[in-house]
Each structure stands twice: as structure tokens, then as C-alpha cells.
Structure 1
Amino acid sequence: MSETDCIFCKIAHGEIPSKKIHEDENVVAFLDLSQVTPGHTLIIPKAHVRNIYDYDEALAEKVFRVIPKIARALRNFRPDVAGLNIINNNEPVAYQSVFHSHIHLIPRYSDADEFGLKWSNHADQYTDDDLEKIMHAIQKELGE
């Protein structure tokens, strides 16, 4: 997808209206139209990058430095905010549906607010040796 076809690039450049709650030279934060819960916000880099795999350290610093500021505003904008989910989906298997990097901040009001995450605990399927092998393989990719 090119920048000219990207809905988030169009939002970042003001070509499509949005409910922006933050904007600086590198980042835009705006309300998600789906509003999974009231205040559901997306944080995007203005630069078109597909997902987290395309970030360099400079872009990561620019994007991730605004998350705590937005998170605090979401916690404080209503007295009934009880928590917050921060979610970043990368590639279709991980539920990415718009291929411009974005981070969801979803205020939580209760455990009955119709939002949930599910994963299974597979700790009994991995030995300490299995975990050591996984750890070393990842460290090798990091160059550590």
C-alpha cells in the first residue's frame, strides 16, 4: 500500500477528518471510529510504516514517548476509567487490518465492557531447556 492509498496517511495529513486528540511533528493520536470503549484512541506515526518491523530507534522514540502522556489523559478524562489496554497488532495473523502502524489505547471501565483478550497458558509444555534454547535464539538475533 502506498501513502496515497493509506487511510491513516490521509488522516495524518488532514485529508480525512478525524477527532485528533494530539498532534506533533511526528505523531498523531485520534479517536478510533469503532470506540471499543469510550476514549479508544489510535496513535500513529505520520511517516508511513507498515508496522513495528519497519521502525528504527528514532521513530520508536518519537511514537512511544507520547504513549504515557495519552494514557494518563485517558485515565483522567472520566472518573470511571479503571485501567487501560495498549495493543499493537502486526501482520494479519496478529489482527492487523490497516497496514500503517498504529497503537490502540483502550480505556477499561470494568471487566464486563465487552472487550477481552484471550491466550492460553502453555507453561507445562516447555521445559527449562526449551526456554533456554528460545532465549538464546532470540539473543543471537539481537547480536547479544
Structure 2
Amino acid sequence: MTTCVFCDIVSGTAPARTIYRDDDVLGFLDIRPVTRGHTLLVPRTHASGLADLSPELGGRLFAAGQRVAGAMRSSALAADGVNLVVNDGRAAFQTVFHTHLHVVPRHDGDKLSFAKGLVVRRDPDPDETAEILRAELGADLR
């Protein structure tokens, strides 16, 4: 039996900087962010890819993405835009086979290239970043 790191995060047996939580979706900062605030949203129920994800749960995942994206724009992160990305399958660069939505804050002129950003991905203060997003989402997850 293989283990799923995202299932471990959902169950609380693996660490994460959680910034969003509801009955169906958990959100936490990516450990290798493309930009500051890069968040992963995962369904609490394991689905290895989009084919395994119910449309209803997919809708709830996307709704959570909209909420987190709004927090990225209105918080001190002051994002000018947001990328919502799902990598579905190995050929699409999916590396953890538990469906997840990347919510990536963008800033005018950041010249971010996802391929280039995958090489150098560091947040200078991930604890502060998590706190900014938690505060904006009204989430007390400590």
C-alpha cells in the first residue's frame, strides 16, 4: 500500500501550514512555492486525478480557490492576479497523485515563467505568509 502525503496532511499526521479549511477542502502553503503565498487546495477525500473527482467536489474545490484567490488580492500580499492550476497526470507535471488546485498569486511585471519558477521556489517567510492568508480568510487554524 502506498501512502499519500496529501492524505497525511488532511488527517493531521503530516505537517503543513494550513490556511484554509472547510468540510470538503483543505488548503495549505506549497513547500516549494512558485511565488509567495502559493497555496495548494486538496479535497479531503482522496482522488488521484480529475477522472476520480466528482463534479460536485470539483466545484467545491474551485469555490475554495476563488475564496483564497480573493484573499490573495485583498490581503497584504496584494496580488494583481491569480493563476488557478490543476496538473492532471504525469505528463502534465502532476507529482503528487491526489488531485489538487494550485492557487498562485501574481503581480504585474513579475515575469514569472512556470517552468523557470519550478527551479527556484522559495518563500522568505512562510509562517508570515500563512498568517496573512489565514487572517484574510478569517481562519483560526492554530
TM-score normalised by L of structure 2:
0.74
Deviations 1:72-113 (A, max 9, x none): 001122264221111100001111010000010110124335
- SS of match in other structure, 1:66: helix
- 1:69 equivalent to 2:67? Answer yes
Deviations 1:2-51 (A, max 9, x none): 4xx00000001111111111111211011001121110000000101011
Alignment of 1:55-134 (within 5 A): 55-78=53-76, 80-116=78-114
Once the two structures are TM-superposed, the CA of residue 60 in structure 1 deviates from its matched residue by: 1.6
Give the CA RMSD over aligned residues. Answer: 2.0
Check conservation: 2:20, 2:26, Cα contact below 8 A: yes
Residue identity (%): 34
- SS of match in other structure, 1:65: helix
2:118 — aligned with what? none
- SS of match in other structure, 2:104: strand
Extract unaligned runs of 5+ from structure 2. 116-142
The separation in 2 between residues aligned to 1:79 and 1:33, in whole angstroms, is 17
Extract unaligned runs of 5+ from structure 1. 118-144
More relative contact order, 1 or 2 (CA 8 Å, 6+ apart): 2
TM-score normalised by L of structure 1:
0.73
CA separation of 1:22 and 1:109: change in aligned 2, threshold 3 A = same
- SS of match in other structure, 1:106: strand
